[in-house]
Structure 1
């Protein structure tokens, strides 16, 4: 049976957690690759806050937030990114949800407008200022991620200030007042100096680093010479679909875009 997650409808109607995720300082407590714990491993006084997330396979699931990492025998604290390739997509998304809720609760305990201490909203997952009534929900930043294509080639880049040597698709944040398509064309122009024409929406993916929603596209090259912005891009090259470098895993939207492009080219050239 595949685990099914149902988000909480009323986030404050908190049942006793049957399953819990434990986070501290941006890390997740794991036993091997398992981060959903059947039993509560913590003393109540160690928990800064707890949040009901919903039901996993019909059983209540929540997150406990600690002020610091505690040593628990047989367990280790892991970066969420390290679980990406070893965890099913919907469970990885659940871990990301837990961390994003923890970040929101930590970062908005005081009002950004007047400085007063905030309180939990009576209905929504939000914090409200009792002084000026500013209400802050968990922040989600929309982004576009796009694979520029040209015939049987696709454009892959290594981003500046990244430690790994993986080539990936271009990406960027959507600015106020922009559509996703406008942001895509602007980002491609700014990062590599190219113009793109036909766009094909492929899929979306929550990306909890720290709180993005990625919208993925294939974008056909229309004109321009490759001219990477050195402040953003360390290296960018056209690669034939049969001669790709090290790329992100298929669990990522970038990996899915590259695989989708390769499959489409194969379908076109197949006799």
Structure 2
């Protein structure tokens, strides 16, 4: 059977789960790198949600009231699974965490303060008073690798503890399209103007709930001036002499590798 995950378009009615994901205090219960369990935990479950089917098996996530000790298992942060599991399973773990976070964060109405209720069909929490409906929030972002001939611009972010150099990224503001956000973010973060851009692909990024839209963008004018607020340092790197970059499971890593492979194959852009 194909190892394919089919997300649930609607959480109700939910089938009986065959695979269980257990979450407590922002962490997943794992046996090694495996977070999918054949049985739910013998503990108080605050909420359970149907996520979809993995290889034809219904998967659900359970939020527990506390972390429990399970022989042979440990509690792990979601980010620790990045690169440790394949892209499909990481996306499933991210989906589980985002659904649990949405449920926890919207138990009360942000408009009138009343306790919310589950929608009878959709994945939404609805206020019985003012009828405000809140669905899981997804924030669109752009992530762009700026290129100049055989070089690409890589940056180290101020809030990252590791030494990885990555592509630039930022949230799309109200009223912007993706290309406008791309140009604005590059100007704000490193002081450059970009010209032609090409969409490469997208990725769900569950930290905490973004949809990343990936681009290659050609440098047009300006010199690199990191803003020092979000960008600690940035510089041009030849495709044959790159610093430590994100793993290929990330969209940033894919953009960088796509650029390097294209130059290696076709020559200077």
Q: TM-score range by the shorter chain?
A: over 0.9
Q: Could you say which residue in structure 2 is the equivalent of 1:170?
A: 168
Q: Could you say which residue in structure 2 is the equivalent of 1:269?
A: 267
- In 1, the alpha carbon distance for the partners of 2:9 and 2:223 equals 50
Q: Could you say which residue in structure 2 is the equivalent of 1:35?
A: 35
In the TM superposition, what is the alpha-carbon distance from 1:268 to its structure 2 partner?
A: 2.1
Match of 1:48 among 46, 49, 53: 46
- In 2, the alpha carbon distance for the partners of 1:269 and 1:194 equals 24
Q: Secondary structure of 1:106's match?
A: helix
Any residues of structure 2 matched to 1:116-127 within 5 Å, and which? 116-127=114-125
Q: Could you say which residue in structure 1 is the equivalent of 2:66?
A: 68
Q: Which runs of 5 or more residues in structure 1 are unaligned?
A: none
Off by >3 Å, runs of 4+ in structure 1: none
- In 2, the alpha carbon distance for the partners of 1:189 and 1:10 equals 41
Q: Could you say which residue in structure 1 is the equivalent of 2:184?
A: 186
Q: Which moved more, 1:222-231 or 1:6-15?
A: 6-15
State whether structure 2 residue 226 is matched by structure 1 residue 228. Answer: yes
1:9-66 deviations in Å (ceiling 9; x for gaps): 33121122111111112111100000011122323xx100000111111111100001
Q: Could you say which residue in structure 1 is the equivalent of 2:248?
A: 250
1:195-250 deviations in Å (ceiling 9; x for gaps): 00010111100000000000000000000111110111101010000000000000
1:238-265 deviations in Å (ceiling 9; x for gaps): 0000000000000000000000000111
**How many residues were matched structurally?**
268
Q: Could you say which residue in structure 2 is the equivalent of 1:150?
A: 148
- In 2, the alpha carbon distance for the partners of 1:147 and 1:117 equals 44
- In 1, the alpha carbon distance for the partners of 2:226 and 2:53 equals 46
- In 1, the alpha carbon distance for the partners of 2:42 and 2:169 equals 40
- In 2, the alpha carbon distance for the partners of 1:15 and 1:268 equals 51
Q: Which runs of 5 or more residues in structure 2 are unaligned?
A: none
Any residues of structure 2 matched to 1:15-26 within 5 Å, and which? 15-26=15-26
In the TM superposition, what is the alpha-carbon distance from 1:2 to its structure 2 partner?
A: 4.2
Q: Secondary structure of 2:102's match?
A: helix
Match of 2:134 among 133, 136, 157: 136
Q: Secondary structure of 2:215's match?
A: strand
- In 2, the alpha carbon distance for the partners of 1:2 and 1:93 equals 16
Which TM-score applies when normalising by structure 2?
0.97
8 Å Cα contact 2:48-2:61 kept in structure 1: yes
- In 2, the alpha carbon distance for the partners of 1:55 and 1:167 equals 36
